[in-house]
Amino acid sequence: MTLKELNIINFKNIAEATLTFTSGFNCFVGNNGVGKTNVLDAIYHLSMCKSYFNLPDLQNIRHEEPFFVVQGKYERGGEELTVYCGVKRGQKKVFKKNQKAYDKLSEHIGLIPLVMISPEDFILIDGGSEERRKLVDGIISQCDRVYLHRLIRYNKALTQRNMLLKSAAGKFLDPEMLEVWNEQLAEHGEAIRQKRIAFLKEFRSVFQTYYERLSLGREEVCLEYKPSVKEGNFLTALKQAADRDRLLTYTTVGIHRDDLVLNIGDYAVRKIGSQGQKKTFLIALKLAQYHWLHQMSEVKPLLLLDDIFDKLDADRVEQIVKIVGGEMFGQVFITDTNRGHIDDILRAQAVDYKLFTVTGGEIS
């Protein structure tokens, strides 16, 4: 997968830009806050139909402008693709592939596999379980449309069940309606849990391999899936929790409460990890995500690296560039504040790269 050209109009602080890329490394350099990350977010938007930073669409429109447009021209397995995203105030988002609009945005997910690594990823370690579930769900959904559709149906059923619980606060609760949502949650929830468990069995060893390479074998790491309900007891657990759920007016059991435990040795990385260890952990997670997506889709995903060299020692930086410059990986987009630094790193590894300078939303 290669992004050949990117067109941007009124996206965040970028008024207008037309950029052509090399199939190797594409580097955006400039001071903090000038728009480097916004370029990566525009690329992310074209793959995942949303901002990496979970901003509402209207907040991505440049200040006081009526709309934004992001368009990319790609090559995927010898096929030319054009993907268009347009958002106008007061209107529905328009998303097109080769000039044909999608009926549902979910139809696009997985067409352009992509992995982004950002300072925002620390929330995976320091944040709540929802962030770690999103990571797992996002990886699987890019390669498994059945899983994505089950996840959508589960979340719709969860919303309906919670609405029923809220509407019944202090009033009559229709047991038949509750049973309808219980059955849907149990059906889709059990299938989602089994897929997550199977995924982690494959993913764990890939992650451990990348962490070992980045850390030069200094620490042992582990990923463990922590379900909130025992296997086979999903429907029973929902029924048993009915009184508590009614009191609290939300659903307290299900796959939306599961977690991914992240450890260095026997201890949670969020408790004992240094900033460098946490960053290495996150980068290894994302490189393993890239590896898995490549294996499943037989397409090399796009790799976006946002300011990842900060707080890493020279050995780990060298290992990262060696890995992503290898045969397994494809097109890479990097941001950095120091042009000399990024020049030195990439020249040392003798990789093909192109530099862009970003200043106040202008790219040259």
Mean pLDDT by 10 residues, the chain (364 residues): 97 97 94 93 97 93 96 94 97 96 94 95 95 96 95 98 89 90 96 95 95 88 91 88 93 96 94 90 96 93 92 81 90 91 82 91 90
Residue 38, marked binder? no
Residue 54, marked binder? no
The model's pTM:
0.93
Of 304, 290, 285, 297, give the one whose Cα is nearest residue 3: 304
Residue 146, marked binder? no
Distances in whole angstroms, Cα of residue 186 to Cα of each of 155, 179, 256, 309: 12, 10, 12, 43
Residue 50, marked binder? no
CATH 3.40.50.300 residue ranges in the chain? 1-112+296-363
pLDDT in tens, 224-270: 999 988 777 899 999 999 999 999 999 999 999 999 999 999 999 99
Considering the domain 128-293, what is its CATH architecture? Up-down Bundle (1.20)
Cβ–Cβ < 8 Å for 308, 239: no
Residue 155, marked binder? no
Q: Say which CATH topology domain 1-112+296-363 has.
A: Rossmann fold (3.40.50)
Residue 37, marked binder? yes
Residue 39, marked binder? no
CATH 1.20.1050.90 residue ranges in the chain? 128-293
- CA angle (334, 299, 358) in 5-degree steps: 20
pLDDT score of 312: 78
The strand pairing partners of 222, in sequence order, are: 263
pLDDT score of 77: 85
Instruction: For residues 214 and 219, give the distance between their C-alpha atoms in angstroms, rounded to a whole number.
Output: 10
Distances in whole angstroms, Cα of residue 142 to Cα of each of 37, 48, 57, 120, 335: 22, 9, 21, 21, 24
Residue 33, marked binder? yes
pLDDT score of 27: 95
pLDDT score of 158: 98
**Burial class of residue 22, CB neighbours in 10 A (0-12, 13-18, 19+):** middle
